[in-house]
């Protein structure tokens, strides 16, 4: 019946775009901030919806595969935070750069890696985006540098990427993300100072999902105490349009040669810190359900689109069905693709180096490392 309803309504019946009011950002050491109104086209809205829904379904499938012990090791899921990576990606260019912490699956997909390659990487298969050698915390693609397992360590790396952009006189920026659990890391504030002194085109982004590892820290207070030269503003990280407009403002600030800027995305994760964390010892199930019912990023976008005649409920349901099918096919690939052979254990250690020998599981086994 839904297909009949969709078919009976032509695309001409929908509005091509709509204007939305978005939450004003809290500003610190900035005279102006992002716009409080924005325009979203129907095409943009459908793209954002499908991308966020795909990330949500992919993460739920990863949860299932982990509980079946098909995914092993560390696994940090991103469901609930989809508006962050999708809004950020919507505001930058493919030639811009992104580096983040270990909750990286959503960014990997937003940067263009197919779901089958992400899930296959999680299951350690040859078809994974890092050929099964990186796993959950180490995924990469062009202009995306992971996925880093050491808390806060990606922040100075991001400044280095921004330094390269400036050194080679490229009109590019680097989005450098970290979580609220890293907000008291000394290397982060050292990096702020260096980036400010050198006026690097770096957008520092704290994804504040509120709990760090397993607590509830006042991140805004931590950040604000240490900022001296870097402008700072807070954003509704559950609203994809707020994140998009904030990122546009931040990247324009950097491209204008004003140096780095910091923004805090106030968001929420539905899972625990990792799959080993049930996520209910420091918060209640009722709290999680309340956030889902009032602030879910996918539901918020869906309601906006339907209420402003940018899409119909039936059309969005069709997208949901297609996404579920894509994720099931990706999971099938990720559970049947072979593991990489042991002979490739030493491959890709260095880039553009002559082949050399690498010791295997014992000193008598040698493998050749190739690029």
Q: Does domain 17-275+283-340 have CATH number 3.40.50.970?
A: yes
More confident residue, 346 or 78: 78
Residue 149 has pLDDT above 70, yes or no: yes
**Each residue of 38-54: pLDDT tens digit?**
999 999 999 999 999 99
| DSSP secondary structure letter of residue 24 | P
Of the candidate ranges 4-13, 55-64, 205-214, 296-305, the one whose mean pLDDT is the lowest = 4-13
Q: Would you state the pLDDT for residue 355?
A: 87
The strand ranges marked E within the chain are 17-21, 26-28, 37-41, 97-99, 174-179, 202-208, 231-236, 261-266, 356-359, 366-369
- Under the banding of pLDDT at 50, 70 and 90, the label for residue 296 is very high
Provide the CA 19 distance to its chain's centre, in angstroms: 26
Rounded distance between C-alpha atoms, residue 293 and residue 274, angstroms: 23
Q: How far apart are CA 164 and CA 174, in angstroms?
A: 10
pLDDT, position 54: 98
Q: What is the pLDDT of residue 72?
A: 93
- Return the top range by mean pLDDT from 4-18, 201-215, 233-247: 233-247
Q: What are the domain boundaries of the chain? A: 17-275+283-340, 342-370
pLDDT-derived band at 343 (thresholds 50, 70, 90) equals confident
Q: Does the structure show a pLDDT above 60 at 6?
A: no
% residues pLDDT > 90 (the chain): 74
Quote the pLDDT of residue 267: 96
pLDDT value, residue 126: 95
Say which DSSP state 344 is in: G
Q: In the predicted model, what is the mean pLDDT of residues 188-205? A: 95
- Residue 2 in this model has a pLDDT that exceeds 50: no
User: How many angstroms separate the CA atoms of 15 and 308, rounded?
Assistant: 8
pTM across the whole model = 0.92
Distance CA 24, CA 37 (A): 9
pLDDT attached to residue 214: 65
pLDDT, residue 225, reads 47
Residue 38's CB: how many other CB atoms inside 10 A? 16
**What pLDDT does 1 receive?**
44
8 Å CB contact between 69 and 41: no
Q: Residue 10: what pLDDT? A: 64
Which residues does 355 contact at the CB level (< 8 Å), separation at least 6? 368, 369, 370
The confidence band for 260, taking pLDDT boundaries of 50, 70 and 90, is very high
**Residue from 111, 138, 128, 93 nearest 254 by CA:** 93
Instruction: Yes or no: say if 134 and 108 are a contact pair by the CB < 8 Å rule.
Output: no
Average pLDDT estimate for 281-294: 92
Average per-residue pLDDT for the chain: 91
Measured CA to CA, the distance from residue 62 to residue 78 in angstroms comes to: 10
Is residue 154 scored above 70 in pLDDT?
yes
Question: What pLDDT does residue 216 have?
Answer: 64
pLDDT (tens digit, 9 = 90+) per residue, 68-127?
A: 999 999 999 999 999 999 999 999 999 999 999 999 999 999 999 999 999 999 999 999
Band (pLDDT 50/70/90 cuts) for residue 280 is confident
The CA–CA distances, whole Å, from 347 to 72, 279, 325, 340, 366 equal 22, 37, 34, 11, 12
pLDDT number for residue 4: 44
Residue range 211-235: average pLDDT? 65
Strand 231-236 with 261-266, pairing: parallel
């Amino acid at each position: 019946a839904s297909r009949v309803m969709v078919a009976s309504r032509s695309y001409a019946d929908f509005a091509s775009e709509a204007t939305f009011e978005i939450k004003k950002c809290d500003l610190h050491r900035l005279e102006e901030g992002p716009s409080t109104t924005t325009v979203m086209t129907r095409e943009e809205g459908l793209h954002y919806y499908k991308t966020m829904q795909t990330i949500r379904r992919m993460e739920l499938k990863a949860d299932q595969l982990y509980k079946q012990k098909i995914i092993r090791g560390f696994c940090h899921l991103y469901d609930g935070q989809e508006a962050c990576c999708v809004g950020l990606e919507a505001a930058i260019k493919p030639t811009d750069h992104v580096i983040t912490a270990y909750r990286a699956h959503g960014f990997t997909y937003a940067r263009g890696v197919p779901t089958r390659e992400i899930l296959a990487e999680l299951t350690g298969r040859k078809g994974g985006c890092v050929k099964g050698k990186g796993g959950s915390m180490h995924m990469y693609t062009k202009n995306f540098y992971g996925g880093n397992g050491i808390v806060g360590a990606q922040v100075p790396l991001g400044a280095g990427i921004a330094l390269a952009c400036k050194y080679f006189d490229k009109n590019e920026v680097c989005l450098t993300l970290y979580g609220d659990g890293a907000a008291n890391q000394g290397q982060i504030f050292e990096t702020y100072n260096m980036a400010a002194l050198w006026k690097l085109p770096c957008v520092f982004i704290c994804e504040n999902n509120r709990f760090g590892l397993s607590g509830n820290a006042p991140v805004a207070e931590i950040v604000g105490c240490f900022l001296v030269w870097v402008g700072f503003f807070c954003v509704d990280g559950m609203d994809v349009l707020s994140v998009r407009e904030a990122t546009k403002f931040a990247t324009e600030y950097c491209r204008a040669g004003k140096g780095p800027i910091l923004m805090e995305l106030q968001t929420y994760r539905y899972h625990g810190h990792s799959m080993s964390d049930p996520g209910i010892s420091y918060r209640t199930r009722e709290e999680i359900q309340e956030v889902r019912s009032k602030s879910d990023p996918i539901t918020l976008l869906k309601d906006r689109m339907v209420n402003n005649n940018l899409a119909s409920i039936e059309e969005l349901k069709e997208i949901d069905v297609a996404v579920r099918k894509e994720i099931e096919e990706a999971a099938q690939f990720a559970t049947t693709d072979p593991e990489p052979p042991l002979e490739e254990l030493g491959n890709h250690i260095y880039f553009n180096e002559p082949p050399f020998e690498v010791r295997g599981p014992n000193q008598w086994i040698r493998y050749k490392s190739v690029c």
